[in-house]
Amino acid sequence: MNCFDFSTVPYNTLTNHQRQVLEKATDIVFFDDNAAIIEAQDSIDTLYIIIKGMVKEIDASGEILALYHPSDSFDTRALFEQSYRHSFIAVEQSLLYAMPKTIIRTLIEENSEFSAYFFANIADKLKNQSDNRRENKLAGLFTAKVRDAYRSYDAFGNFYGAKSVSGDETLLKEVRTHLNGYLDSDVGMLMSFAWAVNQFDEDGRGFFAQILGQKKHKMDIKKMGIFPVVHGTRALALKAKISKTNTFERIARLSQMGLIEQQLSQDISEALAYLMNTRLKNGLLALKHNQELAPNHIDTENLSTLERDLLKNALQVVKRFKHHVSSQFNLHHA
């Protein structure tokens, strides 16, 4: 194997000897257009890294879950399972590094830094990429300045989460109490409000299916990630009569009440923080270069391999969260 890039995470943690072992055991393989690299339920024996080309990951329903570009690897999640969950298909002629699972597992056992990458859960990976909580707060302020309402119910949700800044605070409390009583007697209202969490689903095809064949690979990070989390959390908070207005505080309270499992609450909090930070950085970069301010539209081609991997992880968490919200409000049968 020639010219393997050991500067990328997590291979930059390997010792010189470990790098030599990996190089010796790795093959270069070629797949033609639309060739199946991995079929769902195949036994796991290889980890792939793309040298050239593009690969798509597909679930049982045919939805494209992710696209992999040069330097991306797949499927690290499967290294500790018996078989692959999804299929991986070459979108175009693709050249790949094929690394034996046995070698990767040996390196994981020998090198704690290398193993940390594979054992870290999604929340930990996303958290490590967030500069700090102060930047998260800045991202929140930036989000508020460019907020746009997607639905008439949004104003209702904003009112429910309002805080009194002057005057008689008891008046707002009385109105909120009256509103809670109204919601208790109108389950349909809550279901209609919660339904908006799914309003940007693209007919089951997903974002990655849409960008195939396009020259510009831009995604609306607010529609695909931030809005479903903020609105879904708001809907759950309404149902649980949680008075907190900060999304992160609402998620924590929902977890304390047992309305969101602890791991999902951690994952969705870190996913939201990562998405907000990505959006903030995109907006600040546009301002720096005097470009049109469109912070929601992220060009995935400009992201690093690690950033694309984390974005994919964040969107997977959002998908899990949307499913949870839909289950809580029986939206699957609505």
pLDDT one-digit tens code per residue, 113-146: 888 887 775 666 666 655 444 444 444 443 343 3
65-74, 150-159, 249-258 — which one is most confidently predicted on average? 249-258
pLDDT in tens, 291-333: 777 778 888 777 777 788 888 888 889 999 999 999 998 887 6
Q: Helix, strand or coil for residue 43?
A: strand
Cα dihedral sign, 30-35-37-43: negative
Q: What residues does 47 pair with on adjacent strands?
A: 99
Average pLDDT of every residue of the chain: 79
Rounded Cα–Cα distance for residues 329 and 46 (Å) = 41
Residue 278 confidence class, pLDDT cut points 50, 70, 90: confident
pLDDT digit string (tens) for 179-196? 666 566 566 777 888 888
Dist. CA 253–CA 259, nearest whole Å: 9
The pTM assigned to this predicted structure is 0.62
For Cα atoms 20, 11, 39, give the angle at the middle one, nearest 5 degrees: 95
**Across residues 236-261, what is the average pLDDT?**
92
